[in-house]
Amino acid sequence: MAPLLEIKDLHAEISGGRKIIDGMNLTINPGEIHAIMGPNGAGKSTLSYVLSGKPGYEITGGEVIFRGVNLLELSPDERAAQGLFLCFQYPLEIPGVSNMAFLHTAVNSQRRKRGEVELTSPELVRKVRELGQTLGINAEMLKRPVNVGFSGGEKKRNETLQMMLLEPYLCVLDEADSGLDIDALKVVSNGVNALRSPERSMLVITHYQRLLDYIVPDVVHVFAAGRIVHTGGKELALELEATGYAQYQNEAA
């Protein structure tokens, strides 16, 4: 089976600045859930930005193959249409644009790029309402402008809704638990778990073990100083919780 994502000897830096990703390798097969754990400032969020194509980072070496194509050559919107979804740590607010309208635009932008038939408004509304119900997102929240005035929990539920609706092949969750109380964490995790399928993979970036009680990974990586320094099973997360990252930071240095 061909891997879904292959990162080979990737090097990246902030444009005109310091090096953040330094020789990283990672292979994710379809259906797998990988967790990336590591101390603050190790470059975990940068990894998610580099994968999704955020401006301001420069790739200085290596390659990333996603579903058979060179991901680094695509613009952010093309990567999205290819099936890469980034669940933002801090989702952005878009004043004046209703949540429903945003979802409609996003879904159809992707479908158009893939040469698929676009969804009509009634089709989309029905689908969004169904998915919204499972996340406790009501009609009122769908009318409000995207993320404006949303609580931390509402924003994350909204991210999850987008993810469920867009049905990506790879979900990159960047600190998906930040700003969540335990109830919200359960709702979001249930949404993510409902998306698990043999074709779909997840890359869960977190520095707390807590999230992994709910989204149980197949593989756990320790990320320090710009690369993966240790890989293990789900029990590695518990071990890290007890011992901390210090030993790996030394190892990397």
Partner 1 sequence: MAAVQDTVEQVRSIDVDQYKYGFETDIESEKAPKGLCEDVIRYISAKKEEPEWMLQWRLDAYARWLTMQEPEWARVDYPQIDYQDLYYYSQPKAFKAPKSLDEVDPEILKTYAKLGIPLREQEILAGVEIPEGERPRIAVDAVFDSVSVATTFKEELKAAGVIFMPISEALREHPDLVKQYLGSVVPPTDNYFATLNQAVFSDGSFVYIPPGVRCPMELSTYFRINEKNTGQFERTLIIADKGSYVSYLEGCTAPMRDENQLHAAVVELVVLDDAEIKYSTVQNWYPGDADGKGGIYNFVTKRGDCRGKNSKISWTQVETGSAITWKYPSCVLRGEGSSGEFYSIAISNGRQQVDSGTKMIHLGKNTTSRIISKGISAGRSNNTYRGLVSAHRKAAGARNFTNCDSLLIGDNCGAHTVPYIEAKNPTAQFEHEATTSKISEDMLFYCMQRGLTQEDAVALVVNGFVRDVLQQLPMEFAVEAQKLISISLEGSVG
105 binds partner 1 (CB under 8 A): yes
Which of 158, 160, 162, 209 contacts partner 1 by CB under 8 A? 162
Which of 4, 142, 166, 219 contacts partner 1 by CB under 8 A? 166
Q: Give the C-alpha separation, 204 to 167, whole Å.
A: 16
DSSP single-letter state for residue 197:
B
* Least distance (Å) between residue 37 CB and partner 1: 23
Q: Give the C-alpha separation, 110 to 248, whole Å.
A: 40
Number of DSSP helices (H) and strands (E) in the chain, helices first = 10, 12
Three-class secondary structure of residue 105 per DSSP: helix
Nearer to partner 1, 101 or 216 (CB): 101
Instruction: Give me the amino acid identity at 43.
Output: G
Query: CA nearest 5: which of 33, 37, 29?
Result: 29
Residue tagged 């891997």 (tokens): 3
Choices 60-68, 69-77, 125-133, 212-220 (CB under 8 A): range interacting with partner 1: 69-77
Q: Give the C-alpha separation, 143 to 160, whole Å.
A: 17
9 with 33: CB under 8 angstroms?
no
* Least distance (Å) between residue 200 CB and partner 1: 17
121 binds partner 1 (CB under 8 A): yes
178 binds partner 1 (CB under 8 A): no
Choices 18-26, 54-62, 217-225, 244-252 (CB under 8 A): range interacting with partner 1: 54-62
Nearer to partner 1, 44 or 104 (CB): 104
The binding site for partner 1 (CB under 8 A) comprises 52-56, 75-77, 79-81, 85-86, 88, 91-92, 94-97, 101-102, 104-110, 113, 121, 145, 162, 166
